[in-house]
Amino acid sequence: MHRGGSEEEETTIRKFQIVQTECPRQVNREVTAEITKAHAESEFEKYRIVQDRLLKSDFDKLVEITEKD
């Protein structure tokens, strides 16, 4: 730690050190969250295409039943 400075200088130095250690972590969390969100959305889009293909609405089921008869 800084020696011989005033208490105000030491407080400023401590704040600077906190910013230097904590801000990169916060930025990393934000970037990680953005990457995770983008990945989840892309996976959802892939699955949605499959799900839409497999989905049968009540109307579709009724049409199938009437076509069989």
What's the average model confidence in pLDDT over 48-60?
Answer: 88
1 pLDDT tier (thresholds 50, 70, 90): very low
Which tokens belong to 8? 């105000």
25 vs 35, residue with greater confidence = 35
Record the pTM: 0.44
The shares of helix, strand and coil residues in the chain, as percent rounded to the nearest 5, are 85, 0, 15
- Of 27, 31, 2, 3, residue with least CA distance to 15: 2
CB 7 within 8 A of CB 19: no
Residue 67 has pLDDT above 80, yes or no: yes
Note whether 18 and 10 are within 8 A (CB). no
